[in-house]
Amino acid sequence: MIKPRISISLICLCALPLMLCACSSSQKPTETAADGHVVYTDVESCTRFDNTEMRVQVFDMDRDGHIDLWKFYSNKQASDEEKGEYVIARKELDLNSDKKVDRIMFYNQKENLIREEVDSNFDGDIDWSHIYDNGILIRTEFYSAACNRKALDSDTQSLKPNMIRVYRKGVLTREDIDARCDGVIDRVTIFNPDGEIAQIGLDSDNSGVINEWIRY
């Protein structure tokens, strides 16, 4: 479930154990809303210390008085001369102004996007995630609400994607589907270099093994 990893009340809360935070106000009012409250583009910048140093910036991008973008920076893993530099580690966005994080983007130390998780229907659950290698999409995972409920009712309570798409050089090459939501692939589709269906594999007897192939 996608949830904000940090809230307005938590950003500058210094009483939590093992956490210290120092906030330097960078609030610059840009305009005043109809109800009289001041709207900020850059709401506040803080530095948190939670075992490892993490710098957090929060923004009100649509200027409605509520934070809708969080940027998390970590210390750059570099030589002594470069220590103290920060690199983007994660971004979190509230896309529909409901005060919940709907999109999370993860970055490596080179600030390349490596994973993206999205709650596209704003129900609080991840619907899909993209995985990247050097900025190129290599895998997409889709999550079904029905499969999630079934997993939560099971003994393991482990959430697994019910559909996986694999890409090569940005082109879709394979699609795996778990139609029964049991963690076992029921249908495999292979695509040719032009993105057309080349083969479809089926688990026709519910044995957990793809035993029938249809070629095009």
Chain segment 15-63, per-residue pLDDT in tens: 233 333 444 444 444 443 443 433 334 434 444 444 456 788 888 888 8
What's the rounded Cα separation, in Å, for the pair 86 and 55?
8
Q: List all residues 6 or more positions away from 34 whose beta carbon is below 8 Å from its beta carbon.
A: none
Report the greatest alpha carbon distance in the chain. 67
Provide the residue type at 181 as one letter. Answer: C
Ramachandran class of 208: left when φ > 0, alpha when ψ lies in -120 to 50, beta otherwise: left
Q: What is the pTM of this model?
A: 0.69
Confidence of residue 13 (pLDDT cuts 50, 70, 90): very low
What's the rounded Cα separation, in Å, for the pair 185 and 166?
14
DSSP-H helix ranges across 30-90: none
The alpha carbon torsion through 201, 205, 206, 211 (nearest 10 deg) reads -30
Is residue 192 within 8 A of residue 198, CB to CB? The reply is yes
* Degrees to nearest 5, angle at CA 15 with 69 and 57: 20
Confidence of residue 182 (pLDDT cuts 50, 70, 90): confident
Picking from 153, 199, 203, the residue whose alpha carbon sits closest to that of residue 178 is 203
Picking from 118, 117, 57, the residue whose alpha carbon sits closest to that of residue 88 is 57
Q: What is the pLDDT of residue 55?
A: 81
Tokens of 45: 């910048």
Mean predicted lDDT score pLDDT of the chain: 75
Q: Which of 6-10, 101-105, 116-120, 207-211 has the lowest mean pLDDT?
A: 6-10
Is residue 25 within 8 A of residue 38, CB to CB? The reply is no
Confidence of residue 158 (pLDDT cuts 50, 70, 90): low
Q: In this model, does residue 165 exceed pLDDT 60?
A: yes
Kindly report, residue by residue over 82-141, the tens digit of the pLDDT.
Answer: 566 888 999 999 998 888 899 999 999 999 999 999 999 898 888 899 999 988 999 999
Strands 38-40 and 42-50: unpaired
CATH dotted code for 127-216: 3.90.930.1
Q: What is the pLDDT of residue 68?
A: 87
Tokens of 167: 């890409």
CB 151: neighbour CB atoms within 10 A?
A: 19
Q: What is the pLDDT of residue 43?
A: 39
Q: What is the pLDDT of residue 82?
A: 57
**Structural domain spans, the chain:** 1-120, 127-216
